[in-house]
Amino acid sequence: MSAPLLSVRDLSVAFRQGDETHVVVDRVSFTLERGQALALVGESGSGKSVTAQSIVKLLPYPAASHPSGEVLFKGRDVLKMTDASLREMRGAGVTMVFQEPMTSLNPLHTIERQVGEIIALHGGRAASSRDRVIALLTEVGLADPASRLGAYPHQLSGGQRQRVMIAMALANRPDLFIADEPTTALDVTIQAQILALLKDLQAKLGMALLFITHDLGIVRKIAGDVAVMQKGRIVEAGKTAEVFDNPQHPYTKMLLAAEPKGEAPARDATAKPILEAKDVRVWFPIRHGFMRRTIGHVKAVDGVSLTVREGQTVGVVGESGSGKTTLGLAILRLIRSQGTIAYCGRGLSGLTVKQMRPLRRDMQIVFQDPYGSLSPRLSVAEIVEEGLIAQKTRLNAAERREAVAKALADTGVDPASMDRYPHEFSGGQRQRIAIARAMALDPKFVVLDEPTSALDMSVQAQIVDLLRDLQKRRALAYLFISHDLKVVRALASEIVVMRHGAVVESGPAHELFAAPKSEYTRALFAAAFAMEAEASDVVSQ
């Protein structure tokens, strides 16, 4: 038997920061054959991306170093290669696709130029003919590739950009294809399409695929083998089916059990309505010409009505750009809108900013990104007590600290750490702090704007449990905005499906999940729960 295509032996990676050295990958070994698909799974910070980048030696040397190990690609040690042979290998023998398709493409060059460049680099100028580019783009399923040649990256959608990236990676028929979370930044429907495409191409071209992800559902779909990483080590490896059916390591078990579970509270149409929105519209004018005449509107939210009741959750689902976040902001009156919004029967539309301020106490929001939503300059205590000060609750400093401690304890953060700063906490803990900030004011209505999307799978489940627990104890009304239907199913008793700013379908959650009426909802569900791409063109590319 000949040597495997890629063989990683005892690979370690260390980063030097100041005088300290951190080992982020610790003696990792795996092999990969032609035609085989291996998934590296782990939470963020487990070292899976760093491992992948050392295979093509893309790390920031000399800050990074390899205390041990070798990476044998076709029998040659990549770590000892010269720069020239490295360049030859990258882009031809081994290619890579990254998570963020927007920043991976140069915004100043057309699609044709970017795809043509990589062909020209490794195959000579003659090979970079237009036909070859079109053939590649057709291969990755880009609709109408001939007319897309002159397009710039910003004119394409996220899924289309990722297809272009894949076309570039496939241009020179690599032996090894590394995909570093290629679908994490994409919507579920697009994710399903890209996964189907990758699987298809791998089978057709017979290349080896190294797939890096934190999503176990994807692993099951695409990879025959799996290696689970935790804190820089591979804790378990084997055939995907075997590992999933019979996990040995406690960490793998925990990952597998981490899917958001639990039942949403039963729908109760008699509960007191906390927030009613009727025919909410957010239209942004499109102005044109010298006099800035309004020639039309971007209808970000177009006539959405919903009622959120005490102790109940309304889930708003849809792809990115469907206007669900805008709807949330409009309901809290953080952006201007038309239509009527009533809180506990009191109309909010005519209120001035000043009149609105005392009501903010009862209506809170939790944002998606726990890294962006906490000011890095304030300690946790200062962040959480900010609302208490702004709302002029007559508490002195000691009482405020006590209230902060209580809110933190309620959300599962150790109150003893309240004088530390956000960067000292993990993503999940930061999201708990953001929830504590909202809960400190004892609100009645909370808008949750994708509160789990930026978090690891296992942490998502914890946050979902926390939110449900808080809702039960405090009879909170949630407006839960998410594209992740698994999370929505665990929380919402009523669902609103949005697309292009309008409601496609709405109704009680159990009915909707059991029997979606519209084509679009059905495609969305198929993509989310089974990662099946719908053949029909109800969803956009």
Partner 1 sequence: MTLAPPQHTHGWLRLSPMNRRRLDNFRRNRRGLWSFWIFLALFVVSLGAEFVANDRPLIACYKGELLFPVLVDYPEEKFGGFEARTDYRDPTIAGEIEAHGWMIWPPIRFANSTTKLDPPTPFPSPPTWLLSEKQCRAAIVAHARGDAKAIPPGGGSCRDLEPEWLGTDADGHDVVARLIYGFRISVLFGFILAGVSSAIGIAAGAVQGYFGGWLDLTMQRLIEVWSSLPHLYILIILSAILTPGFLVLLTILLLFSWVNLVYLVRAEFLRARNFEYVNAARALGLSNAKIIVKHVLPNAMVATLTFLPFIVNSSISTLTSLDFLGLGMPPGSPSLGELLLEGKSNLSAPWLGLSAFAVIALMLSLLIFVGEAVRDAFDPRKTFT
Contacts to partner 1 by CB under 8 A: 16-18, 332, 334, 356-358, 360-361, 363-365, 367-369, 372-379, 386-387, 390-391, 398, 401-402, 404-406, 408-409, 415-416, 418-419, 421, 423-424, 434, 437, 441
Helix (H) or strand (E) run with residue 78 in it: none
**CA distances in angstroms from 406 to 152, 399, 402, 409, 418, listed in the order given:** 51, 10, 6, 5, 11
**CA distances in angstroms from 231 to 188, 336, 526, listed in the order given:** 28, 46, 33
Report the residue number, 205 or 356, with the smaller CB distance to partner 1.
356
Report the residue number, 105 or 332, with the smaller CB distance to partner 1.
332
Report the residue number, 398 or 514, with the smaller CB distance to partner 1.
398
CA distance 367 to 130: 45
CB of 453 to partner 1, least distance (A): 13
CB of 184 to partner 1, least distance (A): 19
CB of 175 to partner 1, least distance (A): 36
Report the residue number, 60 or 124, with the smaller CB distance to partner 1.
60
CB of 374 to partner 1, least distance (A): 6
Q: Are 48 and 215 in contact (CB under 8 A)?
A: no
Provide the 8-state DSSP code for 169. H
Report the residue number, 200 or 419, with the smaller CB distance to partner 1.
419
List beta partners, residue 294: 287
Tokens at 304, concatenated: 């959405």
CB of 424 to partner 1, least distance (A): 8
Compute how many other C-beta atoms are within 10 angstroms of the C-beta atom of residue 278: 13
Residue 488, SS3 per DSSP: helix
Q: Are 469 and 264 in contact (CB under 8 A)?
A: no
Report the residue number, 176 or 384, with the smaller CB distance to partner 1.
384
* Phi and psi based region of residue 496 (left: phi greater than 0; alpha: psi -120 to 50; beta: remaining): beta
Report the residue number, 69 or 443, with the smaller CB distance to partner 1.
443
CB of 450 to partner 1, least distance (A): 11
For 415-450, give the secondary structure using H, E and C: HHHCCCCHHHCCHHHHHHHHHHHHHCCCCCEEEEEC
CB of 321 to partner 1, least distance (A): 18
Report the residue number, 332 or 477, with the smaller CB distance to partner 1.
332
CB of 444 to partner 1, least distance (A): 14
Tokens at 73, concatenated: 């690609």
Q: Are 197 and 166 in contact (CB under 8 A)?
A: yes
**What single letter denotes the amino acid at residue 168?**
M
CB of 220 to partner 1, least distance (A): 33
CA dihedral 79, 84, 88, 93 (to 10 degrees): -10
Report the residue number, 110 or 393, with the smaller CB distance to partner 1.
393
